[in-house]
Amino acid sequence: MTKDELQMLEIELETQIESIKVSRTQCCLKIAPKHICQAALVCEGSAWITCLASVLDKCFPPSIGQKAKGAIVFDELFRQGYFNSKSF
């Protein structure tokens, strides 16, 4: 991927994280196709937003003290009620 493509992915992820806060239908929570999950190295059946975060975390690993994009996505999904504490 080019630097510009990665920058566009980062903007898309930030946009999707913000959309989680306002709408359950506007963000990319749909399940990504199997080949996308495989390319992003995430479990089959993962959401598109998880795939975006995974690709960015692999291309731009978080530095010490910095939170990974995948963790940011998970935290926001949890905060917005997509998961409940009984799921764990």
Write down the pTM of the prediction.
0.84
Distance, in Å, from the CA atom of 77 to the CA atom of 17, rounded to the nearest integer, reads 8
**HEC secondary structure over 6-58:** HHHHHHHHHHHHHHHCCCCCCCCCCECCHHHHHHHCCCCCCEHHHHHHHHHHH
The range of the structural domain enclosing residue 50 comes to 3-76
Residue 82 pLDDT: 82
Q: Give how many domains the chain has, as a whole number.
A: 1
Residue 88 pLDDT: 52
Q: Is residue 85 part of a domain?
A: no
Q: Is residue 86 part of a domain?
A: no
Q: Is residue 87 part of a domain?
A: no
Digit-by-digit pLDDT tens for the chain (88 residues) are 899 999 999 999 999 999 888 877 666 788 999 999 999 999 999 999 999 999 999 999 999 999 999 999 999 999 888 876 665 5
Q: Any residues with CB less than 8 A from the CB of 13 and at least 6 apart, and which?
A: 49, 52, 53, 56, 69, 73
Q: Is residue 81 part of a domain?
A: no
